[in-house]
Structure 1
Amino acid sequence: MIHPTAIIDPAAELAEDVQVGPYSIIGPDVTIGAGTVIASHVVIKGPTTIGKNNHIFQFASVGEDCQDKKYKGEPTRLEIGDDNIIRESVTIHRGTIQDNSLTKIGSRNLLMAYVHVAHDCIVGDDCIFANNASIAGHAQVGNGVILGGMTGVHQFCKIGSYAMTSGCSLVLKDIPAYIMVSGNPASARSMNFEGMKRRGWSKEVIASLRQAYKLLYRQGLTLEQALTELEALPSSSELQILIDSLKASERGITR
């Protein structure tokens, strides 16, 4: 399971069936769960906790010190869930004490080649970050989000669940849940209605969210006015996800 050229610190904790490829380096304060595969030439530094059944491909750098100039070597953390695919040359940095000292990635995510997840970022479950997508420090990404290739996300931005960006988008403000954006700077184009159909959501729920999109983007309302109108619509858990993402915005939403 462990290639003889791999270097694993005695203080690292690896489940019995973890596979580690040639020339990979795993430092102290690293915990890796069962079924995880570490390919060749991977570097993992701690404190880092990696869950079960992840696959980390060659040349990835996981749990490295962040690039924030305020960082002075404090013991910050990285947490990664289960069933993630982390492709070639992905870089994921630990947090800083200026935030919660934590970078966190959920489960069942696909991070394609050359993706960068900066310090203090929080990523949910079931996301896809296409090649070269990068999220800057303190960004928060919900569940089921798709970032197109070469998307750049400004620090402190929040991307709501099931949102989507096209390739080469530059995200400078928060993206509400479900919203599809593109451009430099990114602007809203529609909602991810096709994704809703694929998830088996009812026609009634999709119609409600379509109405919500028109209220938010087509009626010339302020965010506060739109929220009032949205909260008057028939309630559903799906609509509440949108409302919650709007209320959580601190940078203003992508229009």
Structure 2
Amino acid sequence: MQTETFVHPSAVVEPGAQLGAGAHIGPFCHVGPEVVIGAGTRLISHVTVLGATTLGENCTVHSQAVLGGLPQNMSHKGGRTTLTIGNNCTIREFVTMNTGTDNSRGATIVGDNCNFLAYCHVAHDCVIGNNVTFANGATLAGHCEIGDNVGIGGLSAVHQFVRVGRNAFLAGGSMIAGDVIPFGIAVGNRAKLRGLNMVGLRRSGMSKAEINTLLRAYRTIFDRSRPVSENIEIARAEFADSPTAMLIVDFISDRGKRHYTVPPVKGAVDDDADDQD
């Protein structure tokens, strides 16, 4: 890794900004006075980093991205809020990420090893885990929580305050208006579950036995012959020995008053959840 920091003559790095060893600030970039750029991170060109933004190590940010802009929230009173982006993230062209709001979390947080393709948006007060991928044009409204290893398809939009559990997949062009369970796959305008993210589960190295346990838990939780609240208690007792199944149970149990969980397509619970031989 190059250890010497480079700032192109056409770039503006305001006094107070901190640049780590080997940081590369390309042509026509603007780095604000409260910004921290980690070691080895590259701003290719025409990148704007504003506000109290910390950008981790070994990230690459492409042209016209704007990081740390003010929250698009009329209730924000102008207080100091932050944006923190982890290590080894790739941020492509025209991506925007806003700081938090001073009457909410006050921080927008992005984990490590995330990949944001062109024209993605991360709104105020969102929390994004590690190893998350946003395809082109995927957007989050404010206050969303995205778990580790989530994939969000192109041109998808996630409603404010929505939670997406770890290892879930949101199909391209979907509108996500409710919480998506861990390991779930959600599809459509006002999306519905289409079963579990089988491709992601297999890629994660999860055993066939554990996948089958997850499938049985999924059927139990979304059994339409009983209320979901009753199904949750049945699943909690039946699958207590499965940490992965309990992730789904606990996720739904913790939804709170402001959330509803995206349900399966009617009649699709059994069809999309066949046991894996």
Shorter-normalised TM range: over 0.9
Alpha-carbon distance in 1 for matches of 2:223, 2:260: 17
Question: Superposed, which structure 2 residues align to 1:183-202 within 5 Å?
Answer: 183-202=188-207
Compared CA separation, residues 49 and 220, structure 1 to 2 (3 A) = farther
* Kept after mapping to 2: 8 A contact 1:215/1:221: no
Which residue of structure 2 aligns with residue 168 of structure 1?
173
Which residue of structure 2 aligns with residue 132 of structure 1?
137
Which residue of structure 1 aligns with residue 260 of structure 2?
252
Q: Which of residues 112, 118, 123 in structure 1 aligns to 2:123?
A: 118
- Computed over aligned residues only, the root mean square deviation of the Cα atoms, in angstroms, reads 1.1
Which residue of structure 2 aligns with residue 240 of structure 1?
246
**Structure 2 residue 85 is matched with structure 1 residue 77:** no
* Kept after mapping to 2: 8 A contact 1:180/1:190: yes
For the residue of structure 1 that corresponds to 2:209, the secondary structure is helix
Amino acid at match of 1:254: V
For the residue of structure 2 that corresponds to 1:213, the secondary structure is helix
Question: Per-residue deviation at 1:213?
Answer: 1.3
Task: Report Cα offsets for 1:9-65 as digits up to 9, x if no partner.
Answer: 110001121001100000011111111111100000121111111111110000000
Which residue of structure 1 aligns with residue 58 of structure 2?
53
The total of aligned residue pairs comes to 255
* Kept after mapping to 1: 8 A contact 2:81/2:99: yes
Compared CA separation, residues 220 and 20, structure 1 to 2 (3 A) = farther
Question: Per-residue deviation at 1:234?
Answer: 4.6
Question: Per-residue deviation at 1:98?
Answer: 1.8
Q: TM-score, normalised by structure 1?
A: 0.97
Amino acid at match of 2:260: G
Question: Per-residue deviation at 1:182?
Answer: 0.6
**Structure 2 residue 107 is matched with structure 1 residue 102:** yes
**Structure 2 residue 28 is matched with structure 1 residue 23:** yes
Which residue of structure 2 aligns with residue 32 of structure 1?
37
- Structure 2: gaps (5+ residues): 1-5, 264-277
Question: Per-residue deviation at 1:170?
Answer: 0.5
Alpha-carbon distance in 2 for matches of 1:75, 1:196: 40
For the residue of structure 2 that corresponds to 1:195, the secondary structure is helix
Q: Which of residues 93, 99, 112 in structure 1 aligns to 2:98?
A: 93
Alpha-carbon distance in 2 for matches of 1:221, 1:97: 42
Alpha-carbon distance in 1 for matches of 2:61, 2:113: 13
* Kept after mapping to 1: 8 A contact 2:222/2:228: no
Which residue of structure 2 aligns with residue 156 of structure 1?
161
Amino acid at match of 1:243: V
Alpha-carbon distance in 1 for matches of 2:172, 2:227: 28
Question: Per-residue deviation at 1:185?
Answer: 0.8
In terms of mean alpha carbon deviation, does 15-24 or 220-229 score higher? 220-229
Amino acid at match of 2:74: K
Question: Per-residue deviation at 1:238?
Answer: 1.7
Question: Per-residue deviation at 1:217?
Answer: 2.5
* Kept after mapping to 1: 8 A contact 2:240/2:246: no
Amino acid at match of 1:183: G
Question: Per-residue deviation at 1:219?
Answer: 4.0
* Kept after mapping to 2: 8 A contact 1:6/1:25: yes
Highest CA radius of gyration, 1 or 2? Answer: 2
**Structure 2 residue 13 is matched with structure 1 residue 8:** yes
Q: TM-score, normalised by structure 2?
A: 0.89
Question: Per-residue deviation at 1:137?
Answer: 0.4
